[in-house]
Chain A
Amino acid sequence: MIIKKIQINGFGKFDNFEMELSDGMQVIYGPNEYGKSTIMEFIKIMFYSKLSGKKTTTAADKLARKKYLPWSGNQMSGTVEFIYGGNLYKVQKLINPGSNSDKTLLQNISTGETINLGKNEDVGEHIFGIDLKSFEKSSFVRSVGKAAFVSGKKGEEDSIYKKIISNLSETGEENVSKENALKRINSAITDLEKSRGTGGKIYETEFEIKNLNSQLYNLEQLEKNQADAKLKILKIKNLIKEKKETENYLRDFEKINKLKKINDVILNLEKINDLNKEINFLKFTEKELEEKHEELFCLKNKLKSQSANIKSIENLIHLSEEKNSLEELEKIKKRSLEIKSKKNHLKKFDFLVYGICLLAAIGAFCFGFLVNNYVYFPMAIIIGGGLAIGWNKYSSVLAEKENFNSLDIINNQIDSILNLKNSYSVEAKKISEAKKQFVQKISVFLSAKSFEEALKNFEKLEEKIKIFKNLKKQINIETNMLEIKEPDLQKLNSMANELRGEIKLNVSSEDAETKKERLKLLQKMNLEENYINLRQSIVTPKITAEEINNLKNEKCEKLKKMKNYLKSLKIARETIEEVSGEMRKNFSPGLDKRTSEIFDKLTGGKYKNIHTKKDYSMMVSNQFIDVSCDNLSSGTIDQAYLALRIAISEIISSKDLTPLTLDDSFIEYDDNRLNLALDFLKNYSEKTNRQIILFTCHEHIVNYAKSMLIKVI
Chain B
Amino acid sequence: MKVKIAHCADLHIGSKISGLGHKAVTRAAEVKNSFFNIINVCDKENIDVLCISGDFFDDVGVLKGEIDEIKGICKSANFKIVISPGNHDPFSADSPYKDIWPENVFIFKNNYLEKIEFDDIKVRVWGAAFKGRYENKSFLKNIEMPKDDFINLGVLHGEIVSSNLCKSSYNPVLIEDIEKSGFDYLALGHIHKRSKIYKSGETFYSYSGNVESSGFNDLGEKGIYLGEISKGFCDLKFIKTCKRSYYIKEINVSGLKNDNDIAEKISSSLAEEFGENYDENIYKIVLIGEISDGVLINTQDIKSILESGIFYCNVEDNTEIEIDTENFNHKNDFKGLFIKKMAEKINNQSSEDDKLIYKKALKLGLISFERDVKYNDDN
Contacts and interface: CB of A to CB of B under 8 A. Distances in A.
B133 interface: yes
A569 B364 contact: yes
B133 A575 contact: no
Nearest to A177: B369
A583 B133 CA distance: 65
Interface string A546-583: 00000000000010001011111111110110111011
A572 B365 contact: yes
Nearest to A543: B59
A542 interface: yes
Interface stretch (A178-186, A397-405, A501-509): A178-186
Given A568-B361, A582-B337, A185 B368 contact: yes
Identify which of A171, A575, A580 gathers the most chain B CB atoms within 10 Å of its CB: A575
A582 B338 CA distance: 11
A201 interface: yes
Contacts of B87: 544
A562 to B, nearest CB: 6
A187 B375 CA distance: 10
B90 interface: yes
A20 B364 CA distance: 57
Given A178-B334, A575-B338, A184 B373 contact: yes
B333 interface: yes
A224 B264 CA distance: 55
Contacts of A182: 368
Contacts of A542: 59, 61
A33 B86 CA distance: 101
Contacts of B90: 540
Contacts of B338: 575-576, 579
Interface in B60-115: 60-61, 87, 90, 92, 94
Contact of B364 (A174, A568, A582): A568
Contacts of B94: 540
A571 B372 contact: no
A192 interface: yes
B237 interface: no
A571 B341 contact: no
B214 to A, nearest CB: 11
A541 B361 CA distance: 44
B334 A177 contact: yes
Nearest to B94: A540
A578 to B, nearest CB: 6
A191 interface: yes
Contact of A185 (B334, B358, B362, B365): B365
A225 to B, nearest CB: 14
Contact of B333 (A174, A184, A201): A174
Interface string B345-379: 10000000000111011111100110111110101
B41 interface: no
A544 B372 contact: no
Contacts of B360: 564-565, 568
B175 interface: no
B345 A571 contact: yes
A316 to B, nearest CB: 105
Given A191-B375, A542-B59, A181 B357 contact: no
Contact of B372 (A184, A564, A575, A578): A184
Nearest to B19: A554
A565 B375 CA distance: 7
B375 A562 contact: yes
Contact of A187 (B60, B369, B372): B372
Chain A, interface size category, equals 35 or more
B333 A578 contact: no
A630 interface: no
A132 to B, nearest CB: 29
A176 B65 CA distance: 62
A170 B330 CA distance: 12
Nearest to A169: B334
A358 interface: no
B342 interface: yes
Contacts of B133: 540-541, 544
A575 B375 contact: no
A565 B365 CA distance: 12
A519 interface: no
A542 B365 CA distance: 45
Contacts of B59: 542
A188 interface: yes
B220 interface: no
Contacts of A582: 337
Contact of B369 (A180, A565, A579): A180
Contacts of A565: 360, 364, 375, 379
Contacts of A544: 87, 133
A575 B361 contact: yes
Contacts of A188: 364, 368, 372-375
Nearest to B353: A564
A319 to B, nearest CB: 107
Contacts of A567: 357, 361
Contacts of A580: 334
B368 A575 contact: no
B377 A558 contact: yes
Given A568-B364, A571-B357, A185 B341 contact: no
B132 interface: yes
Contacts of A178: 334, 369
A87 to B, nearest CB: 34
B130 to A, nearest CB: 10
A580 B332 CA distance: 12
B94 to A, nearest CB: 7
Contacts of B356: 564
Interface in A570-610: 570-573, 575-576, 578-580, 582-583
Chain A to chain B: the 10 pairs with minimum beta-carbon distance, closest first: A572-B365, A571-B361, A568-B360, A568-B361, A181-B368, A184-B368, A572-B361, A188-B373, A181-B369, A579-B337
Interface of B: 59-61, 87, 90, 92, 94, 132-133, 332-334, 337-338, 341-342, 345, 356-358, 360-365, 368-369, 371-375, 377, 379
Given A188-B373, A572-B361, A575-B345, 18 more contacts: A181-B365, A187-B374, A188-B364, A188-B372, A540-B60, A540-B133, A544-B87, A562-B375, A564-B357, A565-B364, A567-B361, A568-B357, A569-B373, A571-B342, A571-B345, A571-B357, A572-B362, A572-B365
30 contacts: A170-B332, A170-B333, A174-B334, A177-B334, A177-B369, A178-B334, A178-B369, A184-B372, A185-B373, A191-B375, A192-B375, A201-B375, A540-B90, A540-B92, A540-B132, A540-B133, A542-B61, A564-B360, A565-B379, A566-B375, A567-B357, A568-B361, A571-B357, A571-B361, A572-B362, A575-B338, A575-B342, A578-B341, A579-B337, A579-B341
Interface of A: 170-171, 174-175, 177-178, 180-182, 184-185, 187-188, 191-192, 201, 540-542, 544, 558, 562, 564-573, 575-576, 578-580, 582-583
